[in-house]
Amino acid sequence: MSGTQLPFEHKMSAHCETGTLSSQLAFHGMELSEALIFGIGSGIFFGYFNNKRFAFPTFIVRSKPGQIRKNLTKRLGIKFETETFKTPQQAQEKLDALLAKGIPPATQVDFFFMDYLPQYLRVHINVHFINVVGKTEGGDYLISDCYYPKIVELAKESLQKGRFAGGSMAPEGFLFYPTFIPKEFDFEKAVRKGIKKACFNMLKIPIPFLGIKGMRKFANHITEWPKLAIDAEDLSHQVSKINILLEDQGTGGAGFRFMYATFLKQAAEILKQPELVDFSKRMMDNGDKWREISLMAARMGRNRDLSVEKLREVGALIHERANVEERFFKELAKVVK
Amino acid sequence: MKEEDLISDYKVQKYILYAEKNDGSYGTVEGGSYIIENDLDDFWHKKNHLEKSLRERLLKNEITPIYYFMVLEEMTVSELASRAGIAKCRVKQHLKPGKFAKARVGDLQKYAGAFNVPVANFFQMVLTSNDQNSKYHFYHQEEAAKDRYSIAQTATANAVIILTKVEEKA
């Protein structure tokens, strides 16, 4: 069998889900920036999880994986073909059939099996999205991963294991590709809806650990962390993870706050509301403060500076962010009405 | 964040970041990971330490190989149960040394799939000359490069048999 590679333009981006969506749409002839996709899809979020499903309390700074794609369908009318599979065989056959037809689908995988990434990045997280853009002569796949500088080969066994990893949010071979892109869009309505939903998610979602409430819960609970850790090194690892979750997991810096600021600046032009530029600046400053928290966490982890007082200090900074973001989203909701 | 404040000479891990560019517009710039650039050695130190302490307990028969890999790969019991396709209560049993001795080979194969290690490595530790477990996911590649021997494990058509080859490096 000879190798094939579809003319897929590879580009690096900050976040895997929005990046894959952006390059999928670009392949089908529609240019939509990552930040705009993130904003219209209401990607910005916060949640603090402290339950048995996680080995240690953790937090998220983005909406549920897949939600951004669903929101794009709802708000812009872009239709996606999505499919999950019962067996790895079926999944592979479908993937091969699509590639033969000239369609490079995006698929959901477990980070752990992406052999081309360095070891320290490869952890068991089921929510990574990659584009499959071709096949080599040996039957392996060519992957366009937006965290990797170029198109890269991945053994077919690894791809299959990654697509059928199981566990929470199991991918089940999930793949998607756009099937219908409307000729005209009502961007204004979509952007307005995206911002409104983001405000709702941050302020009013009636669950005590999501949105601003989640942020406060995190700030209060962080002083309990020493009791939950196995030893000092484990605690240091967990505190360093605050930095990783905010900066490293494809957030574009400061837990998506910088990306959202970029979106708001674009939104100001689309909605013709210059006051949003001011909001964008405020979001940027807010992001800077988040970045200070993440740098502080990294240093604390490094220096094993993990006293309860120090953790309380971090908690106080997070409380401050919660207050700032609460005010920010309340005012934002009024502006985009 | 301003573009000029961004340190751009990150060598280890490059990322795309969003920032205020020098011309005042907001957009993407190439940056990198602060923590990977500065604290990667600390990460390896912690991982190696954790591995050593778990190995000690494993050799004393205080824990089972399932627990060893579960902690190293940062999984919980329910996550492992779901990934391996084994009931949670049975996974809990397999974390006790006495019960682990009665585990089925079929179950072990499922665990091996979830951890991405050969079944054989539940019963042996392939140590390098500098006393590292060469065959677990977080074995430091730089350390491996220093080693005099290369240890390669290749799968065979028989799912429970793995070929382990030790060769002196040229």
DSSP code, position B2? B
Angle, vertex CA A143, rays to CA B163 and CA B119, nearest 5: 25
Question: Of A180, A198, A225, which residue sits at a domain end?
Answer: A180
> Mutation test of the interface with chain A: which of B5, B26, B72, choosing the one with the most A Cβ atoms within 10 A?
B26
Q: Is residue A48 part of a domain?
A: no
- Pair A25, A146 in one domain: yes
The neighbouring-strand residues paired with B15 are B31
Find the Cα–Cα–Cα–Cα dihedral A19, A24, A27, A30, rounded to 10°.
-80
- Pair A112, A23 in one domain: yes
Domain ranges of chain B: 3-32, 36-168
pLDDT > 70? residue B46 = yes
**Could you tell me the pLDDT band of residue B3, with boundaries at 50, 70 and 90?**
low
- Angstrom distance (rounded) from CA A329 to CA A335: 10
- Angstrom distance (rounded) from CA A244 to CA A242: 5
Question: Of A180, A196, A224, which residue sits at a domain end?
Answer: A180
Residues of B in contact with A55 (CB under 8 A): 74-76
Residues of chain A where predicted confidence (pLDDT) is lower than 50: 1
Residues of B in contact with A35 (CB under 8 A): 18, 27
- Pair A234, A121 in one domain: no
Confidence (pLDDT) at A95: 87
Which of A172, A5, A17, A3 has the alpha carbon at shortest distance from A106?
Answer: A17
Render pLDDT for A68-110 as a digit per residue (tens, 0 to 9): 888 888 888 888 888 888 888 888 888 888 888 888 889 999 8
Measured between CA atoms, how close is B168 to chain A, in angstroms? 24
**Could you tell me the pLDDT band of residue B90, with boundaries at 50, 70 and 90?**
very high
Q: Is residue A91 part of a domain?
A: yes
Question: Of A180, A198, A227, which residue sits at a domain end?
Answer: A180
> Mutation test of the interface with chain B: which of A87, A110, A120, choosing the one with the most B Cβ atoms within 10 A?
A120
pLDDT > 70? residue B5 = no
Q: Is residue A71 part of a domain?
A: no
- Pair A10, A131 in one domain: yes
Q: Is residue A281 part of a domain?
A: yes
Confidence (pLDDT) at A1: 47
Q: Is residue A21 part of a domain?
A: yes
Q: Is residue A204 part of a domain?
A: no
Confidence (pLDDT) at B8: 58
Instruction: Classify residue A147 as left (phi > 0), alpha (psi -120 to 50) or beta.
Output: alpha
Confidence (pLDDT) at B67: 92
Contact A55 B75 (CB under 8 A): yes
Structural domains of chain A, count: 2
CB under 8 Å to A301, separation ≥6 — which residues?
Answer: A236, A237, A239, A240, A243, B39, B42
| Nearest Cβ partner for B35 among A149, A280, A298 | A298
Confidence (pLDDT) at A2: 58
Residue of B nearest to A290 (CA): B1
- Angstrom distance (rounded) from CA A280 to CA A191: 14
Percent of chain B predicted with pLDDT > 70: 87
pLDDT > 70? residue B135 = no
The stretch B12-34 carries a mean pLDDT of 75
User: Are B39 and B47 spatial neighbours (Cβ–Cβ below 8 Å)?
Assistant: no
- Pair A97, A221 in one domain: no
- Pair A216, A313 in one domain: yes
Residues of A in contact with B18 (CB under 8 A): 14, 35, 252-253, 258-259, 261-262
- Pair A26, A110 in one domain: yes
The neighbouring-strand residues paired with A144 are A131
- Pair A112, A249 in one domain: no
- Angstrom distance (rounded) from CA B76 to CA B116: 16
- Pair A146, A16 in one domain: yes
Structural domain containing residue A157 = 4-31+79-180
Render pLDDT for B57-87 as a digit per residue (tens, 0 to 9): 999 999 999 999 998 888 888 889 988 889 9
DSSP code, position A274? T
- Angstrom distance (rounded) from CA A46 to CA A296: 20
Q: Is residue A308 part of a domain?
A: yes
Which amino acid makes up residue B10? Answer: Y
Mean pLDDT (chain B, rounded): 82
pLDDT > 50? residue B121 = yes
CATH of domain B36-168: 1.10.260.40
CB under 8 Å to B108, separation ≥6 — which residues?
Answer: B119, B122
- Pair A162, A16 in one domain: yes
pLDDT > 70? residue B137 = no
- Pair A170, A279 in one domain: no
